[in-house]
Amino acid sequence: MPCYVDTATAAMPANITEVGIIILSGGQGSRMGGVDKGLCIYQQTTLIEQVLAQLSKQYRQLRRTDSKQKKNGGRFAPDVLPIFISANRNIGFYEQLGQPVISDIYNDFCGPLAGIDSVINAYQQGWLGSHHNKITRWITYPVDSPLVPENYLQTMLALTPEQIGVWHAGARDHYANLSMAHTAVGSLRDYLQQGHRSIRGWLESSECALQAVGQSTNNNRSAKDSNAINSFVNLNYQADLAIKA
């Protein structure tokens, strides 16, 4: 049975300045008719702008809390957002948002796992610039889920170094919402180079300590938790863009 980390009790991460956040917006959008999902309008704003704004806000809140705890010492990073956008089309639009944009090093829209590896590869090669801190944990978020759960980053950081987290909401696991140590990239890359593409397949084939994090399946959860679960939507079809928050 999966182990759940509750959002209400998630611990403050020790190294918020060593986190890299990847917004996955490089898909083919086949179920939406082949459009670039990140540029789709939801509630009068593009999906990418909504997701970026919410993740940026959460990161800055965690940085402020972390800075207060370390005010008498500790290492402070430059005031930059360690948020990277995985995109394969409309690169100019994404770049004007102010965050690094990385296209896949794999051909033919190989899926989110390829996007993750491409961002990590760019980081390893030094293509993202020297102003970013050392990254020891990566957190991913798909652009087609515009309502970012409250405390998403904090919860995804409440893991031990060897654990890989998968977000759980609405009675299922959301495999594109990952929290993984940088050291896991080796097995991820090997899996891709063998011609495989599935995030779930990679997790099941690797000997990782997998944790389901987010809202638990506890029947006694609060109404607030239930609302948080119901608000986690994936917009996969054009008709979904009309869903109200």
pLDDT at 70 over 70: no
Under the banding of pLDDT at 50, 70 and 90, the label for residue 239 is confident
Contact between residue 127 and residue 202 where contact means Cβ atoms under 8 Å apart? no
pLDDT tens across 114-144, in order? 999 999 999 999 887 655 678 999 999 999 9
Contact between residue 180 and residue 138 where contact means Cβ atoms under 8 Å apart? yes
* Cα–Cα dist 41/32, whole Å: 12
Encoded amino acid at 121, one letter: N
Predicted confidence at residue 218, as pLDDT, reads 42
Nearest alpha-carbon partner for 124 in 48, 41, 183, 194 = 183
* Cα–Cα dist 85/171, whole Å: 28
- Both tokens of 141, joined, read 């978020």
Helix (H) or strand (E) holding 189: helix 185-193
Predicted confidence at residue 15, as pLDDT, reads 75
Contact between residue 211 and residue 3 where contact means Cβ atoms under 8 Å apart? yes
Share of the chain above pLDDT 90, in %: 50
Q: Which of 3-12, 50-59, 60-69 is predicted least confidently?
A: 3-12
* Cα–Cα dist 10/108, whole Å: 38
> Other CB atoms closer than 10 Å to residue 105's CB: what's the count?
15
Max mean pLDDT among 19-28, 209-218, 234-243 falls in: 19-28
pTM score, whole prediction: 0.85
Burial of 49 (0-12, 13-18, 19+ CB in 10 A): middle
Domains present along the chain, CATH in parentheses: 4-242 (3.90.550.10)
* Cα–Cα dist 71/103, whole Å: 38
* Cα–Cα dist 6/154, whole Å: 11
Pairwise pLDDT comparison (3 vs 146), residue with the higher score: 146
